[in-house]
Amino acid sequence: MQKTVVNSWNEWDPLKHVIVGRADDCHIPPEEPALDAKVPEDSDMRGQWGRRPQETIDRANELLDKFAAQLEARGVRVDRPNSIDHSRPVTTPDFHTDSQFGCMPPRDVLLTVGSEILEATMSYRCRWFEYLNYRPLMKQYWEEDPNFRHEAAPKPRLTDADYHPDYLSEKIGVEKRLQWAEEKFFVTTEEEPLFDAADVLRFGKDLVVQHGFTTNLKGIEWLRRHFPDHRVHTVNFPGDPYPIHIDATFTPLHPGLILNNPQRRLPKDQRALFERNGWEIVDAAQPAHNTPPPLCYSSVWLSMNVLVLDPKTVCVEKSEVYQAEQMDKLGMEVVEVDLRDAYAFGGGLHCCTADVYREGDCEDYFQ
Ligand code: ARG
């Protein structure tokens, strides 16, 4: 029987099939330009690399397994990646890195648009081969679904020409970073198209893409040419000194409603698209924590990295009480998920998943 396996056009239609990452064999990779620019200057991760401690891997896997079971209990089909050996070094004709990253989080690598899953170029050397963790699943979908389009963006060369050397100094300071972000001067250059899938949000016919450390303007142009039936919009969030991945910054909940990180507000001119179409952009609630957990790349704003199950139901991390309260006030049913001890592996509930199937078609929400 032929059937549709892959179909997802936005971030909120009823979720029926999803990939949940695994913490197996995750590594803190050695220094490299784009990653260095992202690790906060006061982070406990600076200067160390290697396989993550086994007890943290086991704990994260326990939480990811439970999250997967929670989704399955709600009728969602859940698939898991097959971890490759991330301790293996990578050498291409253009670069070398002594280890890889992990099979978390899938949202960074896989971009689902309709019946297509696109493997992003990625912008870190340690994540160049990360798509291999998902290839067994892609192969399976390809065999099950005659309309599935499995695509891969051109692999980037990631030579030193891809990175601005200014970002490589030890201490830049947050002030300078904020100024650079305002000027749209990021660590990646315009040498070649670069993007991570988690810089893209899907609003039916419109794709909203963050220009920052992991996605450059050529990457956005590449997406525009690759999806000729879509409108592709570039957005910036000047309050973010480490702008990577849009999903702890800008979170659509359903047609007409978006949460925005109050420290990273979308600039006025970029709001026009949403405002003239009657979409409301509201400040997200404050995170419940003052600091991220140990060995974590992300900020405390993973509080707003929620996974929408359908336009009225949303998964919120269990300890994020203010975020849950806000969802309740916004009329959403909250599903609590314990995930904080897995944050260090690359993100929250939205990050650690990748859409395979949501009900619904490609709609046009904007004029
Ligand atoms: N840059 C975000 C922050 O630290 C984290 C985003 C994580 N998202 C992801 N898809 N990995 O606030």
How far is 236 from 357, CA to CA, in rounded Å? 28
Identify whether 261 is part of a domain.
Answer: no
- Look at strands 149-152 and 200-203 and give their pairing: unpaired
Nearest to 207, CA basis, from 79, 120, 124, 309: 120
- Atom 1 (ligand 1) nearest CA: 244
What pLDDT score was predicted for residue 46? 80
Pick the atom of ligand 1 nearest to 196's CA. 10
- List, chain by chain if needed, residues with CB within 6 Å of any ligand 1 atom: 105, 107-108, 198, 244-245, 247-248, 298-299, 301, 346-347, 351
Please give the full DSSP string across 32-52, using - where no structure is assigned: -HHHHHHS-TT-TTTT--EEP
Question: Are the C-beta atoms of 17 and 356 separated by less than 8 Å?
Answer: yes
CA of 361 to the centre of ligand 1 (A): 28
Whether 334 and 309 have beta carbons less than 8 Å apart is answered as: no
Probe residue for ligand 1, chosen from 302, 304, 306, 307 as the CB with the greatest number of ligand atoms within 8 Å: 302
- Rounded Cα gap, residues 365 and 161, in angstroms: 39
Distance 305 CA to ligand 1 centre (A): 8
Give SS3 for 356: strand
Tokens of 41: 């200057």
Q: 219: domain range?
A: 15-238+347-358
Distance of CA 54 to the CA centre of its chain: 24
Average pLDDT of adjacent 10-residue blocks, the chain of 367 residues: 90 98 95 82 82 97 98 98 97 97 97 98 97 98 98 98 88 92 97 98 98 98 98 97 97 98 96 96 98 94 98 98 98 98 96 98 96
**The pLDDT of residue 37:** 83
Residue at 36 is within a domain: yes
Kindly list the catalytic residues. Answer: 196, 245, 351
Instruction: Select from 107, 211, 297 the residue to mutate for testing ligand 1; criterion: most ligand atoms less than 8 Å from CB.
Output: 297
- Give the nearest ligand 1 atom to 108 CA: 10
With the most atoms of ligand 1 within 8 angstroms of its CB, the residue from 127, 187, 245 to mutate is: 245
ipTM > 0.95 for the complex:
yes
Domain count, the chain: 1
Index of the ligand 1 atom closest to the CA of residue 302: 12
- Which amino acid, residue 356? V
Distance 337 CA to ligand 1 centre (A): 18
Beta-ladder partners of 355: 18
Instruction: Please name the residues in contact with 164: beta carbons below 8 A apart, sequence gap of 6 or more.
Output: 185, 186, 187, 188, 189
Q: Does residue 320 sit within a domain?
A: no
Give the residue carrying structure tokens 């004709």: 93
- Is the residue at 341 inside a domain? no
Residue 47's pLDDT is 78
Residue 255 lies in a domain: no
Question: Which atom of ligand 1 approaches the CA of 244 most closely?
Answer: 1
Distant-in-sequence, close-in-space partners of 103: CB < 8 Å, separation ≥ 6: 21, 22, 24, 25, 26, 81, 82, 83, 84, 86, 130, 133, 134
Is residue 253 assigned to a domain?
Answer: no
Q: Identify whether 149 is part of a domain.
A: yes
What integer pLDDT is reported at residue 1 of this predicted model? Answer: 57
Query: What is the pLDDT at residue 2?
Result: 65
Pairwise CA distance, residues 286 & 322, whole Å: 6
Distance 301 CA to ligand 1 centre (A): 8
Q: How far is CA 107 from CA 132, 177, 182, 206, 264, in A?
A: 14, 26, 26, 18, 21
CA of 239 to the centre of ligand 1 (A): 14
CATH number at residue 351: 3.75.10.10
Any domain includes 141: yes
3-state secondary structure string, 257-286? EEEECCCCCCCHHHHHHHHCCCCEEEECCC
User: 305, 277, 267: which is closest to 11 by C-alpha?
Assistant: 305
